[in-house]
Structure 1
């Protein structure tokens, strides 16, 4: 469904909203690292168990990202982006007031659900709002804060923990998120896609299994103490699920992640470059 093209001022402010959302998402993937010892003392836990706080966030994002494109197509980019910010802020508040490790891990899952939708839905909104000749410049503007977030996360987390308390590494998201939600209502169009069909449940399950198994295998040796045989089995399971998805997508008219995207040379090269840098490729949807 087409939406009226916003004016230049509205588009610029929308870019800032998406960029800040991307920054918050990537910042929270690393900001807790230096605060883990302090969090362990506060919760009365062993520091070795606190790694679950980091893993819960990253695994939740890996599971939710494949569904974010369909949700934005079905309910509109503004609606899903607002929902993502609300969940992210709610998860941040729950993390700040967590009194036990299981509660903190559950709160990180809520935060991860919101964070997983911020970047893909924000990018989708940019693609549907900006003219073709401005795509590259707009997406580059959005991507820069996302690259800065993981770099300053550990330093900022350590400083907040020492100057205030570990709770503030989550509470700083609240005012930013509230302002972002208000700006989203005002400046982001609610673009939808007509004729998207039913949600590809089977394809989603296969992709989720593949990404979970791959994430566990990559983190298993360094952070979770898995044996080499376990890591190998997880890699095999990931490849098997991915192969099953390819077979499934080839038979379905509207799969969750269309394989025909790889026929676009620029897309295929971009995915290859991302994989070669060791990054996890998040499925996107056209």
Structure 2
């Protein structure tokens, strides 16, 4: 069982994850008010979001090496302090250029907080305790994209856009104090005698590819972006990432160790989990648009119904560990990803005449499915990875997670534009978009079907026949 320090560390990382994810989505709500205050256009304010997401994508791969070189405790404390100070500075930014620069600093702090913090959790948690630990860590990432639009709307309506950054200050101070007290200076907290040399070629190729791909996602989401520019940036991204993959497989000390993908359960958690992350971040973007633009609902009514995603997340969370132990990863991931596909596709059949209770129930069921699915993927990812590879697996998993979450809105926009090309009515465009997002879950369902029946069993605790004491799978 997890002891109090392990639970506290997991909750600390959960809080950091919430701050990181919230800051990646909350700004979009206040774009018009920020543009007016800064003397620019709402489209230009999009750079405030993109600068943050690009920085996260670029620097997360460096987190593993930094943790080895300087010690996880030192890096975590520095990251929390940088994120908090940059948040306060963002609130005081006098113009758009300064704000974008400060968002880069904020992203640098965010890129280090969660991967390094999660590495601390993994290093101190027994395999059989992983479901409970990852349940703590994952849920803020599910809540933030749902809560951000409502929180941003309330702050900008009743206070000012500055408070979207100032709310991070008290949370950051609490996180820093907790990390100072909880995270010790043991083997994971201090630098080892000899850290591997930094893979500079890997840094250059990975950073270029990830930055270009995230920027391409921003261009896709912007209505005024030209397709030739978007195509060129996307081509650069794929060329750089292809070269990075070739290099990382040959380098003696790669920045990101792709050989961790040899573990089947970890490979499926990265591939299937990435698809699920994209759908999860795309749906909270599309649902409010459907409710407000097609159904004619108010922003408050729309936000209230979308919050049922959060209700589903929280309602199922206490049962997640039991379900994993009872049914195993393969069966639970098949059920969760299939349920996510059905509930997302089901949104295509919602109309203004659909009873609100039915709409809320569908959204709630989708929230429960995504909660179980992501907890399952996040736990299974490290269930069969040896401790000597935990750092490498954590870095690759965190990079894939951030990239897929950052591309979620771009995927939603592409699906909606396909819908607009195929359907003349606005409602028809959303129907096509939700059906496409539901279909995007199907490869994850097939990947779960291909898993070995005992995949992830090292992280399960199964009760022996006859009510005997629980037997831990190995």
Q: TM-score, normalised by structure 1?
A: 0.91
CA–CA distance in 2 between the matches of 1:186 and 1:278?
A: 32
Residue 28 of structure 1 aligns to a residue in which SS? helix
Aligned residue number for residue 48 of structure 1: 43
Q: Which moved more, 1:254-263 or 1:267-276?
A: 267-276
Q: Is 1:283–2:396 an aligned residue pair?
A: yes
1:257–1:283 contact (8 Å) kept in structure 2: yes
Aligned residue number for residue 234 of structure 1: 233
From 138, 147, 153, the equivalent of 2:142 is 147
CA–CA distance in 1 between the matches of 2:29 and 2:395?
A: 26
Question: Where in structure 2 are the equivalents of 1:106-125 lying within 5 Å?
Answer: 106-125=101-120
Pairwise CA distance, 1:284:
4.5
Pairwise CA distance, 1:257:
0.8
Aligned residue number for residue 198 of structure 1: 197
Pairwise CA distance, 1:256:
0.8
2:63–2:395 contact (8 Å) kept in structure 1: no
Question: Where in structure 2 are the equivalents of 1:43-122 lying within 5 Å?
Answer: 43-122=38-117
Pairwise CA distance, 1:274:
2.9
Q: What are the ranges of 5 or more consecutive residues in structure 1 without an aligned counterpart?
A: 1-6
Pairwise CA distance, 1:136:
2.5
CA–CA distance in 1 between the matches of 2:129 and 2:219?
A: 41
Residue 283 of structure 1 aligns to a residue in which SS? helix
Q: Greater relative contact order: 1 or 2 (C-alpha under 8 angstroms, separation 6 or more)?
A: 1
Q: Which moved more, 1:268-277 or 1:93-102?
A: 268-277
Question: Where in structure 2 are the equivalents of 1:241-252 lying within 5 Å?
Answer: 241-252=240-251
Residue 183 of structure 1 aligns to a residue in which SS? helix
CA–CA distance in 1 between the matches of 2:246 and 2:161?
A: 46
Aligned residue number for residue 207 of structure 1: 206
Q: Which moved more, 1:202-211 or 1:212-221?
A: 212-221
* CA separation of 1:221 and 1:71: change in aligned 2, threshold 3 A: same
Residue 85 of structure 2 aligns to a residue in which SS? helix
Residue 24 of structure 2 aligns to a residue in which SS? coil
Pairwise CA distance, 1:221:
2.4
Q: Which moved more, 1:173-182 or 1:32-41?
A: 32-41
Aligned residue number for residue 458 of structure 2: none
Pairwise CA distance, 1:234:
2.1
1:90–1:110 contact (8 Å) kept in structure 2: no
Residue 29 of structure 1 aligns to a residue in which SS? helix
* CA separation of 1:47 and 1:236: change in aligned 2, threshold 3 A: closer
* CA separation of 1:48 and 1:236: change in aligned 2, threshold 3 A: closer
CA–CA distance in 2 between the matches of 1:53 and 1:235?
A: 21
* CA separation of 1:164 and 1:278: change in aligned 2, threshold 3 A: closer
From 152, 163, 183, the equivalent of 1:157 is 152
Pairwise CA distance, 1:122:
1.3
CA–CA distance in 1 between the matches of 2:158 and 2:82?
A: 27
What whole-Å deviation, never above 9, does each CA across 1:98-120 have from its counterpart, x for those lacking one? 11111111111111111111211
- Find the structure with the greater CA-based Rg: 2
1:257–1:284 contact (8 Å) kept in structure 2: no
Aligned residue number for residue 267 of structure 2: 268
Residue 396 of structure 2 aligns to a residue in which SS? coil
Q: How many residues align?
A: 279
CA–CA distance in 1 between the matches of 2:397 and 2:43?
A: 34
Q: Is 1:25–2:15 an aligned residue pair?
A: no
Pairwise CA distance, 1:193:
6.7
1:210–1:241 contact (8 Å) kept in structure 2: yes
1:30–1:154 contact (8 Å) kept in structure 2: yes
Q: What are the ranges of 5 or more consecutive residues in structure 2 without an aligned counterpart?
A: 282-393, 399-474
What whole-Å deviation, never above 9, does each CA across 1:205-234 have from its counterpart, x for those lacking one? 101111111112222122273322222222
CA–CA distance in 2 between the matches of 1:140 and 1:75?
A: 28
Q: Which moved more, 1:185-194 or 1:265-274?
A: 185-194
CA–CA distance in 2 between the matches of 1:117 and 1:152?
A: 23
Aligned residue number for residue 220 of structure 1: 219
* CA separation of 1:235 and 1:274: change in aligned 2, threshold 3 A: farther
CA–CA distance in 1 between the matches of 2:277 and 2:74?
A: 32
